[in-house]
Structure formats: structure tokens, C-alpha cells
Amino acid sequence: MANNTISLRSLLEKEKLNGINFLDWFRNLRIVLKQERKEYFIEEPVPNDPGANASRADKDKFKKHVDDMVDVGCLMLATMTPELQKQHEGLHMRRNLAKGDVDLRVGNGVRVAALAVGTYVLSLPSGLVLNLENCYFVPRKMTKAPFSGKGERASDLLGLIHSDVCGPMNTQARGGFQYFITFTDDFSRYGYIYLIRHKSEAVERFKEFKNEVQNQHGKSIKALRLDRGGEYLSQDFDELLKECGIVSQLTPPGTPQWNGVSERRNRTLLDMVRSMMSHTELPTSFWGYALETAAFTVNRVPSKSVQKTPHEM
């Protein structure tokens, strides 16, 4: 039995969880837990402490669940990439919460459901270790509250371009790419993507994009809507926009909804990439090809934002 356990656990060691391959990783995790008779841990809620007056059987059942929780928790952490381990290793002896048990109001005013409660171990640089009791875990990435405001749409091609840089990714794509930059036309919603190794390449990719679209359409870019990322605030980028007569529309700090076209496009593309990568046995480093395929597909499917497909526009 021990040899079989080690052999099955090697399934998780071959390709650790990196944020993109969750479905494959979770499928292998269920196989391992089923073989070890611990699959119940991810299917049943954590039981409450039976208390001092509980029967011996209830106490033994609770102790077994706690022991399995530690074992499975260590297994899950050991089969994650170092980046994900840093995000999850702080909360110990946690108890999972059902949706609606505890709701918290976060900084953007939205009420979100806490997923777990436990003790957070905080190690200070001085060597002092603090155990913070009753810490609640909420998702690190949360969407903003619905934004009802609508900006004025461009009336022609290249009248307004939305742009954003996404990354770094946990795994480099083939070619050493860790980021990608998008350019989306407001009028047609046609989008371009470029894989980049560093954010500083944004200027060169914009030059490449500008030369292509202006030559193909015989029109000039009028305005560029950007967030306040450092790649867009550089002197080189600012001078390029002034030289070309392009108006820079910088969004206010902390308001990604004002650059919602780019934010939504990035989210759609990454959701498609995760779906495609979960149905293949290719290495995760192929996510760059999946991203280009996703962008090609989005440009050729109907959208409620435009009357035709972006490619037809």
C-alpha cells in the first residue's frame, strides 16, 4: 500500500498547481485521496469540536478528521508552486466555511463570503512569531461592484484604443514570455495581443500595433485609454503619444472600471486559456499559444457590444 501511495502521489509532483492547471491538478488530487481513503475531506464539511462530554466514537472521528486535514493540507501545499505556497501557507488549523456563514465588507464596499477561519502564523523579521487567532480567509482576487456608468463610444475605427498589460504569469510561455499586452478598438471591439518578456516592451509593441492598424485602415489613432501602470507613464511612451498627436486618457487611481474594456478582455482571454489548457496534456508553458488562439476566436464571435463580429467590423 505504501508503494502505491508514493506512486500515485508522484502524479501531483509531475506538474504542480500553478493557477492555470487547476482542473488537472484537482483531478489527480482526488485520485490520490480516494486511494488513501481521504476523499471525504474535500467532499464533507469540517465537523464541529464534539466537546468534552461527547462519546468516544465522536471524539475519535473528530481527531481522525483533524489528522487527515493536516496531512491533506501538507500534501496540497507540497504540490503547489512556491508562489502559490506563499499565499496559502499562513493559515493553519483552518475550518472551511459554507457560503453565507460569514460575510465581510471589504475595501471596495462589496460584501464577500469568507471561505475559512483559522490561526494565521505571522513571522516577523526580528524572529518573533505571532499566532493570530480567528483570522478569516477571503479570495485574494475580487471583482468590483457592478459599475452602472457608461462612457461615450467611439464613432469610427481607431477613434479610441483601450490597452492594458497583464502579468507576470506563474509559468513562462515558450520564448520566455511572462506578460501580454492588449490593444482593443472601442468601435469594433477588435483586439490585438502581443506576448512580452518585460513591461518595458510596451512602447515597442504599441509602435508595432500603431504602424499595422494605421497602414491597414488608412486612419490614425485618436486616443488611447490606459491605466496608470508604470509602463504607460514612462517618458518614452509620453513622448511617442505627443509626437503622434494621440490623446492619452489615463484612468483615475484605483478605478479599473474606467478601463473596463481591457479588464474584461483580459479576464475573458485568461478564462479561455485555463479552459483550453485543462483539456490538454501539453506543458503549461504552451499557454502563450492558447492565448493567441483565444484572441483569434474572440475576434470572430458575436458580441452584444457590436452588431457584427469584431472581424467583420
Domain hosting 25: range is: 1-89
What pLDDT does residue 6 have?
A: 45
Identify whether residues 169 and 294 lie together within a single domain: yes
In a domain, residue 168? The reply is yes
Identify whether residues 80 and 107 lie together within a single domain: no
Identify whether residues 183 and 284 lie together within a single domain: yes
Q: Per residue in 134-169, is it b (16+ CB within 10 Å) or e — as a string?
A: ebbbeeeeeeeeeeeeeeeebeebbbbbbbbbbbeb
What CA–CA distance (Å, rounded) separates 287 from 90?
A: 29
Kindly report, residue by residue over 54-97, the tens digit of the pLDDT.
Answer: 888 887 887 777 777 767 766 777 777 766 655 555 555 567 77
Identify whether residues 286 and 187 lie together within a single domain: yes
Mean pLDDT in the chain?
Answer: 80
Q: Are the CB atoms for 186 and 167 separated by under 8 Å? A: no
Kindly report, residue by residue over 194-234, the tens digit of the pLDDT.
Answer: 999 999 999 999 999 999 999 999 999 999 999 988 889 99
Q: What phi, psi does 81 have (nearest 5°)? A: -70, 155
User: How many independent structural domains does the chain possess?
Assistant: 3
pTM: 0.57
Identify whether residues 291 and 174 lie together within a single domain: yes
For 37, residues 6+ apart whose C-beta sits below 8 A from its C-beta are: none
What pLDDT does residue 311 have?
A: 80
Q: Are the CB atoms for 172 and 178 separated by under 8 Å? A: yes
Q: What is the CATH number of the domain that holds 199?
A: 3.30.420.10
Identify whether residues 165 and 217 lie together within a single domain: yes
Higher pLDDT, 116 or 10: 116
Identify whether residues 283 and 167 lie together within a single domain: yes
What CA–CA distance (Å, rounded) separates 257 from 144?
A: 8
Kindly report, residue by residue over 172-190, the tens digit of the pLDDT.
Answer: 999 999 999 999 999 999 9
